[in-house]
Structure 1
Amino acid sequence: MKRTQRGITLLGFIAILAVAGIFIYVGMKVIPMYTEYYAVKKSMQGLALEPGINNAGTDKIRNLFFRRLYVNYSENVKAENVKIERMGGGWKMTVKYEVRRPLISNLDVVGNFENVQELTHGGPSD
C-alpha cells in the first residue's frame, strides 16, 4: 500500500506568507491612525470631566485639549479641525479630521475621523 504525502507545498507556503505580509503591512499603516483617534477621544472625555469646563472660554478649552494631545503625541489634529460651540449648560466640541498615509506606489490609506463631546461639567474652576 502506497502512502501519499500530505501537507503544504513550498509555493503554497510562500503564497500564505505573502498574504500575511500584506495584512501586516496594511495594519502597520492603519493601527497608528486608530490609536491616535482613541487618544483624541480619551482627551475629549477627560476634558469633559474638567471642573468648571462649562464656564471656561473657548481659548482655555482649546489650550487644555491640545495640551492633552501633545502628551499623547497626536500630530494630525490641527486647530482648524476643532469646533467649539455654545449649547445649553456648556459647550459642544467637535473634532473632525482626516489622516492620509501612503500605502503602495500611488495608493493611500485614508481615515476620516469625527468625535463629538459635550462639555457640561460644572464645579469649581481653577
Structure 2
Amino acid sequence: MKRNQSGMTLLGFLLVLVVVGFAAFIAMRLFPMYQEFYAVKSSLKGVAAEPGVSDMDPAKIQDLFFRRLYINYSESVKPSHVKIERMDGGWKMSVSYEVRRPLVGNLDVVGKFDASEPLTRRAPE
C-alpha cells in the first residue's frame, strides 16, 4: 500500500516566512507612532485630572500638557497642533497631528491622529 506524504514544502515554508517577516517589519514601523499617540492621550487625561484645570489660563494648560509629553519623549506634537477652546464648565483641549515615517524605498506611512478631552475639574474648596 502506497502512502502519500503531506506537509509543507520548503518553498511553501519560505513563502510563509516572507509574509510573516513583512508583517513584522510593518508592525515595527507603526508601533512607535501608536505608542506616541498613547502618550498624547495619557497626557491629556493627566491634564484633565489636575485640580482646578477648568479655571486655569490656556497657556498654563498647554504648558502642563507639553511637560507631560516631554517626559514621554514625544516629538511629533507641536504647539500649533493643540487647540484649547472654552466650553460650559471649563475648557476642551484637542490635539490633531500627522506623523510621516519612511517604510520602504520611496514609500512612507502616514498616520493621522486626533484626540480631545474636556477639562472641567474644579479646584477643591
Verify same fold: TM over 0.5. Answer: yes
User: What stretches of structure 1 move > 2 A for 4+ residues in a row?
Assistant: none
The 5 Å alignment of 1:1-126 reads: 1-124=1-124
Residue correspondences, number: 125
- Structure 2: distance between partners of 1:81 and 1:16: 41
TM-score after normalising by structure 2 = 0.95
C-alpha root-mean-square deviation of aligned residues, in Å?
1.2
User: Alignment partner of 2:96: what SS?
Assistant: strand
Mark the runs of 5 or more structure 2 residues left unpaired by the alignment: none
**Residues 30-87 of structure 1, C-alpha deviations (whole Å, 9 max, x = no match):** 1111111111111101110100101111111111000111111111101110011112
TM-score after normalising by structure 1 = 0.95
